Amino acid sequence: MQTRTRRTSLSLLSFALALSLAPLAQATDAQAPDGPRALPGSLPLIPAPAQLQRLEGAGYTVTSTTALRAQGAAAQRVAGLFATQLQHSGGPALAVASARGTDGIRFVLDATLKTGAEGYQLRSDARGVTVQAATEAGLFYGAATLSQLLTGGSNGVVPALKIDDAPRFSWRGLMLDSARHFQSLDEIKRVLDAMAEQKLNTFHWHLTDDQGWRMEIKRYPKLTGVGSCRIPAGDGGRDPVTGAPRPYCGFYTQDQIREVIAYAAARHIQVIPEIDVPGHATAAIAAYPELGTIDTPLQPLSEWGVFPNLFNTEESTFEFLENVLEEVIELFPAKYVHVGGDEAVKDQWEANARVQERMREVGAGTENEMQAHLIKRLEKFLEQHDRRLIGWDEILEGGLPPEATVMSWRGTEGGLKAASEGHDVVMSPVTDMYMDYLQTNSENEPPGRPLTTPLGRVYGFEPVPDALARDKEQHILGLQANMFTEHTRSVARLHHNVFPRLAAVAETGWTPRDRRDFADFLARLPSQLQRWQAMGIAYAQTPFEVEADVSDDRKAGTATLALRNPLNYEIRYSVDGSAVTAQSPRYTAPLTQPLPVGVQAATFFNGQALAKAASRFDITARSLLTRNDEHLAMCPGEGKLLLRLEDDGPLEGERAIFNVNIFNPCWLWEKADVDGIASVRVRAGQIPYYFQLAHDEPQRRFVKARSAHGEMDILNAQCDGKPLASVPLPAKPGADGFITLEAKLPRSLKGRQDLCVRFTGDTRPTMWVLDELTLVPR
C-alpha cells in the first residue's frame, strides 16, 4: 500500500489494550504534577545523586584549556572516557594531562575509601573538581555526573558542592530485542553510550526468537544460515519490480559480539545474552527441524504474536541446547545467562505422543513440570560452568531451582512470589517497564502496542513491593526496561520508544526512594534533552508536543480548542500565523475562534522550547466533518485488541499507520452531528493480518459476509444489529492501495448519533482498515 499523508491536527483518542494477549486496564500517569518544579538546591542531574550539598563560595569553570589529571592506568581510562563523553554531550574537548598538580579536574582511585562497589565522591570549589572512588566503576559514575554538570546549558560552570553518591540497586538494565528487528553495531554502541551516561549497568540482549536467530553458533551454522532470514509479510517482502521474495536478514558474528561486550565492559555495563527455550523457537526449528515436535517444515516467522512451536523434549535436543550454551558461555563473561521460558504454549507437547512418553520417563506429571525439568537441567549445566540462570517469571511454574533468578514481567506478582521464596528477582513489569508501548496519546506516536505507558508511570514504578517481607527485600536486585521490536523497524523509532523514558528507569534504579520527585525530575529533564541532542539521540518529541481537544459549534461557525501537554509543561501559542516563541501568549484557558482557524502551540521550560517544532491545528468547517482512524473509538462489546499497525509498503521510507481492533475491525464516531448529512464516505486500505494469537485467536470476530467479498456496514448505537447502510467491498483495493466507498444515510437520521463502520468477512491473510471517515452534507 502507498504511504498516506498523516495530519497533526487533533490528539489521538485514548485507548486500552491487552497486556500481551490478556486484558489489562488502561495505564495512567502515576504522578500528574501541576508542572515541573525544581526542589531547593537541585541541579540538572539524572539520576539524582543520593546526597548533594551546595557549598558557599565560587564554583569552577571548565574550558578547553582545563587540565584533566589522573594517576594510574584505571584512573586514566576513566579520564579518557570522561573526555569522550563530555565532548559528545556538548562540552569542550579536554586532554588528559600530567597527574601532578591540584588544579583542574582530578580523578583519584583510592581503595581505602568507603564508597562501595559503584559509589563515588565529587568535590568542587574555585580551585577545581576532584572525583574519587574505591573502584574504577565508581570513578566512572562520578565522571558521568561531572560530565552532566558541565553540559545541558551549564556553560561549563560547576558550582561549589559536595556529592556522596552510590546506587540503590545493583541491576539497572535495558533489554534490547535484536531478533524481531536487527540493529547495527554502531546503533547498539550508541544505546550503550546513552546507558552509561545514565549510570545503567546491564544490557540484556534478546538474540533469538520466532522471527530470527541473531547469534553465530559455530557448531550449528544453519542457526544463522537459515534462521537469520525471514520474508516479511505483504509488499515489504517482495521486490517491487520483479516480485521476487526480498528476505530480511541479519546476525552477529562471534567477533562482533565480542566487540559489543568489550565496548560495554569499558563503560561498566554487563551484557546478558538471552537464548529462548522452550518457546519462541521457530527460527531454530526452521534451521534444524529435528528440534521440533511437528513434521510440517517451518520458516522464521514474519508474523507477530504467540506461537505454538516448541523445542521437543528429546535428550538430543537438551544436548543441542547445552552445546549452544557452551558457546554462549565462552563468549559472554557475565555471570547470568537468560533462558527465556515465557509464552510457551503447550499445545504441541500435549498432542505429541513422544513428548507424553518422555514426560513419563522423567517423572513430569504436567507439561509445566516438563518445562521445569528442562529449566532445572539447564540451570545445573550453567552452574557447572560458573554461571547463573535467569528467566521470565513463567519459569516459576512447575518448580524452580533455588539458584535461579526470576525476571518478573507479568506484573510484580511473580517477582513478589519468587523473592518471598528466596529467589533473586529483577522487576520488569509490562505495565511500567515495556518501552514498545506508546508513551502519549499523540497521533505522532510510531507503531506499537497501544497500552499507553507515559513517562510519569515509568517514573512512579517502585521495584520493591510493599507486601514483601523486609528480610526478603535484598532479593530485589533492581529493575529493567524492555524494548521489544516487533514494530520498531528503524533506529529512529528505537530512540523514540526508549528516550526519555529510560531516564526515569535510570533514576529509579540509582536514586534513593525518598529522594525521587517527579516534578523535580521534569525540571531537570530539559537539560538532559540538550545532551541527547548533542549525542545524536532522537528522543521522542511526543511528550513535549501540544495536544488539542476540539469542539465545534457549526451553527455559530466557531471551534473551541482545549490545549494540553502530557507533562504539564508551559504552553505558548499564536493564532495569527506568527512563530511561537517564549514571548508568545501563555495558554491558560480554552481558545474559541471563528472558523477557519490556525493555531500553533509549543511547550517551554525556562524559556527553552522543548519540541523541535510547534504543533499546528488547522480547523475548517470541512475538516470538522472528517476524522481519521486515530480520532475514532473502538466499537463497544467483547473482543478488543487494538493495535497501532504499520502498513507493509512501500519497501523503503515512511509507511501508513492505522489503529485497528484486530479482534473486531470496527470504528466508532461518537455523537456525530448528522443533521443535514446525506452520506458517509470512507477511505480504506488493506494490510497483512500478520498475527498468531495462540489461545486468544477464538476471540477474533468475523461478521459473516453477505456478498462475494464482504461489505462495509454503517451502524449506530451498539454497532450491531441491522446496518443503517451497506456497500459491497471490492476484491482488492485500487492501484494506490486504497478504496473510497460512500454509503447513504437514512433521511430520518438526525441529531447526535454514534456512527460505526465495520468490515464483514474473514479476509485473512489481509484485513481491511479504515483510513478516513467523512460526513457528506446534502
Query: Of 117-121, 143-147, 447-451, 501-505, which range is least confident?
Result: 447-451
- Which residue is listed with cell 529483577? 426
Helix (H) or strand (E) segment spanning residue 322:
helix 315-331
Q: Is 553 helix (H, G, I), strand (E, B) or coil?
A: strand
Phi, psi at residue 315, to the nearest 5°?
-60, -35
* Cα first-last separation, the chain: 32
Q: Is 372 helix (H, G, I), strand (E, B) or coil?
A: helix
652 φψ region: left (φ > 0), alpha (ψ -120 to 50), beta (else): beta
| d(C-alpha 70, C-alpha 196), whole Å | 20
β-pair partners for 104? 128
Residue 33 pLDDT level (bands cut at 50, 70, 90): low
3-state DSSP of 441-480: CCCCCCCEECCCCCHHHHHHCCCCCCCCCHHHHHHEEEEE
Q: Is 60 helix (H, G, I), strand (E, B) or coil?
A: strand
Q: 10 Å Cβ neighbour count for 221?
A: 11
| d(C-alpha 628, C-alpha 156), whole Å | 48
pLDDT higher than threshold 70 for residue 297: yes
Annotated active-site residue 209? The verdict is yes
Query: Tell me: the pLDDT tens digits for 713-752?
Result: 999 877 888 999 999 999 999 988 899 999 999 999 999 9
| d(C-alpha 33, C-alpha 723), whole Å | 45
| Cell numbers linked to 660 | 485497528
- Of 204, 268, 280, 423, the catalytic one is 280
Annotated active-site residue 343? The verdict is yes
Average pLDDT over residues 80-98: 94
Helix (H) or strand (E) segment spanning residue 505:
helix 501-510
Q: 10 Å Cβ neighbour count for 401?
A: 16
pLDDT higher than threshold 70 for residue 367: yes
| Cell numbers linked to 81 | 572516557
- Which residue is listed with cell 443533521? 675
| d(C-alpha 456, C-alpha 437), whole Å | 14
| d(C-alpha 528, C-alpha 47), whole Å | 10
| d(C-alpha 419, C-alpha 452), whole Å | 28
Pick from 129, 170, 127: nearest CA to 149: 129
| d(C-alpha 411, C-alpha 398), whole Å | 19
Domains in the chain, CATH or no CATH each: 51-165 (3.30.379.10), 171-530 (3.20.20.80), 545-621 (2.60.40), 626-777 (2.60.120.260)
Let me know if 558 is exposed, middle or buried by CB neighbors in 10 A (0-12, 13-18, 19+). middle
Interhelix angle for 185-197 vs 136-149, to 10°? 80
- Of 177, 209, 303, 507, the catalytic one is 209
Annotated active-site residue 403? The verdict is no
> What pLDDT, on a 0 to 100 scale, did the predictor assign at position 451?
80
Query: Tell me: the pLDDT tens digits for 404-459?
Result: 999 999 999 999 999 999 999 999 999 999 999 999 989 999 998 868 999 999 99
Query: Tell me: the pLDDT tens digits for 212-260?
Result: 999 999 999 999 999 999 999 988 899 988 999 999 999 999 999 999 9
Counting every residue written for the chain, the total comes to 778
| d(C-alpha 431, C-alpha 690), whole Å | 24
- Work out the mean pLDDT of the chain and round it to a whole number: 92
384 φψ region: left (φ > 0), alpha (ψ -120 to 50), beta (else): alpha
- Of 29, 343, 436, 648, the catalytic one is 343
